[in-house]
Amino acid sequence: MNSNQLKETIMKFVFLIFACFSIVAVIVICAFMFANGFPAMAKIGFGNFLLGTEWRPGQNLFGIFPMIVGSIYVTAGAMIIGVPIGLLCAVFLTFYCPKKLYAFVKPVVGLLAGIPSIVYGFFGLIIIVPIIQNVFGTGGKGVLTASILLGIMILPTIIEVSESSLRAVPKQYFEGSLALGATKERSIFKAVLVGGKSGVMSAVVLGLGRAIGETMAVIMVAGNQPAIPKSVLSGVRTLTSNIVLEMAYAADLHREALIATAVVLFVFILIINICLSMVKRRES
């Protein structure tokens, strides 16, 4: 083996080692989160922790059920608002948008994806909260406000992913349907969308992941009361905001309980990821 070959082989392994870094990262993250979260869960009791409805760290009551429900409500609200609009926008960009408008809209969708979540939170605080206040005469912060804001925030994800999957559907589907006498809209919704179903599904799941993991924007507009919301207007605290709100001053079991909250969130995300890879596998 001459020196050149040796160099090639060594570098191949160097690349491989770097590539394995992501595996190491996932293992280390899982290890740290679970090792720190599970003992607290065991101490509090899994049932008391996951299904307890009282979160009073001062009295050693650590039930995160209201936060789990809160996260689910807010995420569901965001999906109800974001998915139809995002999907229809993707249809618009693919089939209706004039070229000149497209050249303007496409980069702005990218920009919308790049706006920091703290700026979104600020926007929600100064615009959406007062509007809800005026319309419903409440405090303004709550499930509805958070859902609207998150719905806007997941738009770019949904638009970009579903647009590319719509474009990947063979043109013949659309043209064949038109040739059979269907209207443009009917062709899009009955032929193209059905063909691009799995791509649209993965767009939805990606949006779901983004919505459930969002922290800084939600914290500004959700009200953050640790109780199960009674209506769409009442304040709500999500798993993510629970962590940020109390981590700064938490100690001992309280801190471990917050880490355990993150573990629950982490497990949610892992489940969503598994769903996503199942959708993708069906695609290929």
Partner 1 sequence: MKTKLQEYKNHPFSMLMFILIILSAVIMIGAMIFIIGYILVRGIPNMKPELFEWQFTSENQSMMPAIINTVLMTLCTLVMAVPVGVFSAIYLAEYSKKGSKIVKIIRMTVETLSGIPSIVYGLFGFLAFVIALRWQYSFISGAITLAIMVLPLIMRTTEEALLAVPDSYREGSYGLGAGKLRTIFKIILPAAMPGILAGVILAVGRIVGETAALIFTAGTTAAVPENIFSSTRTLAVHMYCLLSEGLYIDQAYATAVVLLVMVIIINALSSFLAKKLTKN
Judged by phi (left if over 0) then psi (alpha if -120 to 50, else beta), residue 97 lies in beta
Q: For residues 196 and 213, which CB has a smaller minimum distance to partner 1 in the complex?
A: 213
Q: Does 112 bind partner 1 (CB under 8 A)?
A: yes
Q: Does 127 bind partner 1 (CB under 8 A)?
A: yes
Q: Does 11 bind partner 1 (CB under 8 A)?
A: yes
Q: Does 179 bind partner 1 (CB under 8 A)?
A: no
Measuring CA to CA, how many Å separate 260 from each of 219, 234, 265, 273? Answer: 19, 26, 9, 20
Q: For residues 27 and 231, which CB has a smaller minimum distance to partner 1 in the complex?
A: 27
Instruction: Kindly write out the interface string for residues 46-85 of this chain, putting x where it contacts partner 1 by CB under 8 A and - elsewhere.
Output: --------------------------------------xx
Q: By CB under 8 A, what part of segment 135-154 binds partner 1?
A: 152
Q: Does 2 bind partner 1 (CB under 8 A)?
A: no
Q: Does 97 bind partner 1 (CB under 8 A)?
A: yes
The helix or strand, by DSSP H or E, that contains position 55, with its residue range, turns out to be: strand 55-56
Q: Does 161 bind partner 1 (CB under 8 A)?
A: no
Q: Does 251 bind partner 1 (CB under 8 A)?
A: no
| Sequential DSSP letters for 226-266 | SS--SSTTS-B--HHHHHHHHHTT--HHHHHHHHHHHHHHH
Q: For residues 87 and 233, which CB has a smaller minimum distance to partner 1 in the complex?
A: 87
Q: Which of 41, 89, 143, 201 binds partner 1 (CB under 8 A)?
A: 89
Token code pair at residue 255: 């801190």
Q: Does 29 bind partner 1 (CB under 8 A)?
A: yes
Q: Which amino acid is at 258?
A: L
| Sequential DSSP letters for 75-121 | HHHHHHHHHHHHHHHHHIIIII--HHHHHHHHHHHHHHHHS-HHHHH
Measuring CA to CA, how many Å separate 232 from each of 73, 79, 142, 237, 271? Answer: 9, 15, 7, 13, 26
Q: For residues 180 and 230, which CB has a smaller minimum distance to partner 1 in the complex?
A: 180
Q: Phi, psi at residue 56, to the nearest 5°?
A: -135, 85
Q: Phi, psi at residue 251, to the nearest 5°?
A: -140, 160
Q: Does 174 bind partner 1 (CB under 8 A)?
A: no
Q: Which stretch binds partner 1 (CB under 8 A): 39-47, 57-65, 166-174, 238-246?
A: 238-246
Q: Which of 47, 58, 98, 114 binds partner 1 (CB under 8 A)?
A: 114
CB 173 within 8 A of CB 229: no
Q: Which stretch binds partner 1 (CB under 8 A): 43-51, 124-132, 161-169, 229-237?
A: 124-132
